[in-house]
Amino acid sequence: MQRVLLLGAGRSAASLIHYLVKHASEHNWHISIGDYNPEVAKELVEESSQVRIFKFDVNSEEQRVDEVRAVDVVISLLPARFHIYVAEACLKMKKPMFTASYIADDMQALEGKIREAGLFFLMECGLDPGIDHMTAMQSIHSIQARGGQLFSFKSYAGGLLAPQSEDNPWRYKFTWNPRNVVLAGQGTAQFIRNGRYKYIPYHDLFTRLEPIQIPGYGDFEAYPNRDSLRYRKVYNLADIPTMLRGTMRRPGFSAAWHLLVKLGLTEDGYTLEGSEEMTYREFVNSFLAYDVQRTVEEKLCSYLGVTQEEEAFQKLVWIGLFENEPIGLPNATPAQVLQKRLEERWRFGQEDRDMIVMHHQFGYLLDGKPHCMEASLATVGQDPVHTGMSNTVGWPLAIAVKNYLLGKIQLTGLHRPVLPEIYEPIIKELVELGIELTEEEKPWVEPLPPGL
């Protein structure tokens, strides 16, 4: 019997858990699921001879080591900052590790030790990062195999609402970690376009948008992710003139979010004195100039250069930022106050369905002529548990673990799913599960990089 340890049973774990349990009898697996709140896991699956659920405290080194020692493979869906604790236990006990999270600097620093120990660590094997890597590399390798020379790669993804659930002016609700959404984009976005490096500070990020259309699902807009430049190395495209990764939203979202950023409501570096006694109207007013003659709405519009009739301003009205309702949150940062308000207004209901969208655009030379290939994906969640987000984060990870346990992955070291022996069988099975990009060749219509 092979033993699998899953640490973390949050909202993105449901599809992974159900996949592992479904295949447990077939492959003679035993699944141990640990979470600080084990009741969360018990809502997803019942304990049995093949499933054990237990309370897990990531801060207990003794428990970490004991649990890792007893299994054949470890999956971490804990908050990203805790992966290093799990990794250190895996190194100590000589166990492989899988996660959907980015390779952080502290994990990258362990690369030599992982390789020397002959272990396989796979990270960034979820949705974004994950499916984006796999589908991009599949297309890149296909273009290169035909003799194509890539000069442009743009990649966008987003966790949104299915069209039938877009019942508010933002066309958005929380389908994953609300804090991550509120803090998204902070820092400076950097990418390269036609050989020119571009840097967009956070206060301007949501004004620099790319329009995108996905057949059957309509129009979208995308803002750049923080650091697109490092993916040149990840995709072995060190000299590519254009490399851009971004996050997708429905049109109009970013214009309204820009107002929140410019006003300062997404700041998370200080706390507001007396925040529990403030109303939301007083909260907004605290960021505006003192003026007893004008209303809060008038001052905000004057400061941000908008009118009260504009859609972006009306979106702020809809989320209740001007209401005289007590916040009731002590020692809160501006971002925490905003998150509380948004969680109340962007609540994902039992009848709601989420949607994952992804879009790649490849520009390449073939036989001396420029070509464009676009690949798009859209998948809708089945229910509030088996969401599109849970499916696209959990299934790639579960399939990778299965392939490893079946001996189909013979690699060692710290990896992303960018090698064919990792991504090809995962993509093949995802297609069987209904997750598939549709490719389309189009004429290249943008300016070419200098020298091409």
Q: What is the pLDDT of residues 277-288, one digit of tens each?
A: 999 999 999 999
φ/ψ of 338, rounded to 5, equals -60, -45
- Give the total residue count for the chain: 452
Tell me, yes or no, whether 81 and 142 share the same domain: no
**Nearest-5° angle of CA 145, CA 364, CA 377?**
85
**CB distance 388 to 354 below 8 Å:** yes
Q: What pLDDT does 330 receive? A: 95
Question: Which of 80, 99, 123 is at the close of a domain?
Answer: 123
Cα maximum dimension of the chain: 75
What pLDDT score does 450 carry? 86
| pLDDT at residue number 113 | 96
CA distances from 291 to 232, 261, 302, 323 (A): 51, 22, 12, 19
pLDDT for 400 beyond 90: yes
pLDDT at residue 175 greater than cutoff 90: no
Q: Count CA within 13 A, CB hemisphere, residue 153.
A: 25
Are 299 and 156 members of one domain?
Answer: no
> Is a pLDDT exceeding 90 seen at residue 375?
yes
What mean pLDDT, rounded, does the chain reach? 95
Query: Rounded mean pLDDT of 262-275?
Result: 95
pLDDT category at 432 given cuts 50, 70, 90 is very high
How confident is the model at residue 146, as a pLDDT?
94
Residue 364 shares a structural domain with residue 333? no
Q: Which among 149, 195, 143 is positioned nearest to 449, based on CA atoms?
A: 195
Structure tokens at 172: 């958005």
Q: Are residue 54 and residue 140 in the same domain, yes or no?
A: no
CA contacts within 13 A on the Cβ side of 53: 18
317-355 residue pLDDT tens: 999 999 999 999 999 999 999 999 999 999 999 999 999
Are 99 and 234 within one domain?
A: no
pLDDT range class, residue 176, cuts 50, 70, 90: confident
Kindly state whether residues 196 and 284 are assigned to the same domain.
no
> Does residue 194 sit within a domain?
yes
Whether residues 20 and 158 fall in one domain: no
Total structural domains in the chain? 3
- The CA distance from 355 to 120, in Å, is 32
The string of DSSP letters for 2-36 reads: EEEEEE--STTSHHHHHHHHHHHHHHTEEEEEEES
Same structural domain, 135 and 245: yes
Q: Are residues 101 and 140 in the same domain?
A: no
Report helix, strand or coil for 254: helix
Q: How many helices (H) and strands (E) does the chain have?
A: 16, 16
Regarding whether 376 and 235 lie in a shared domain, the answer is yes
Together in a domain, 101 and 50: yes
**Residue 12: is its pLDDT beyond 90?**
no
Q: Helix, strand, coil proportions of the chain in percent (round to 5)?
A: 35, 25, 40
Q: What is the CATH number of the domain that holds 290?
A: 1.10.1870.10
For the stretch 79-102, pLDDT in tens is 999 999 999 999 999 999 999 999
Give the mean pLDDT of 412-434.
Answer: 96
Q: Taking residues 370-375, report their average pLDDT.
A: 96
What CATH number is given to the structural domain containing 86? Answer: 3.40.50.720
Q: Answer whether residue 413 is part of any domain.
A: no
Chain centroid, CA 310 distance in Å: 30
How far apart (Å, rounded) are the C-alpha atoms in residues 262 and 363? Answer: 35
Record the pTM: 0.91
Query: Does one domain contain both 221 and 83?
Result: no
Q: Which domain-ending residue is among 313, 345, 377?
A: 345
Residue 170 is assigned to a structural domain of this protein:
yes
Determine the structural domain holding residue 237 and report its residue range. 131-253+351-386+436-442
**pLDDT, average across residues 221-232:** 94
Neighbours of 126 (CB within 10 A): 25
Domain-embedded: residue 417: no
pLDDT at 414: 97
Q: Is residue 395 part of a domain?
A: no
pLDDT greater at residue 7 or residue 446: 7
Residue 58 located in a structural domain = yes
Q: pLDDT digit string (tens) for 196-207?
A: 999 999 999 999
Residue 237 lies in a domain: yes
**Is 391:131 a contact under the CB 8 Å cutoff?**
no
pLDDT reported for residue 272 = 95
| Cα 126 to Cα 80: distance, rounded to the nearest angstrom | 13
Q: How far is CA 299 from CA 77, 260, 289, 441, in A?
A: 44, 14, 7, 50
- Quote the crossing angle between the two packed helices 311-318 and 296-304, to the nearest 10°: 140
Q: Domain for residue 391, yes or no?
A: no
| Angle, CA of 441, 160 and 373, to the nearest 5° | 10
Helix (H, G, I), strand (E, B) or coil at 137: helix
Among 123, 142, 160, where does a domain finish? 123
**What is the pLDDT averaged over residues 155-182?**
93
pLDDT score, position 19: 96
Neighbour count for residue 317 (Cβ, 10 Å):
13
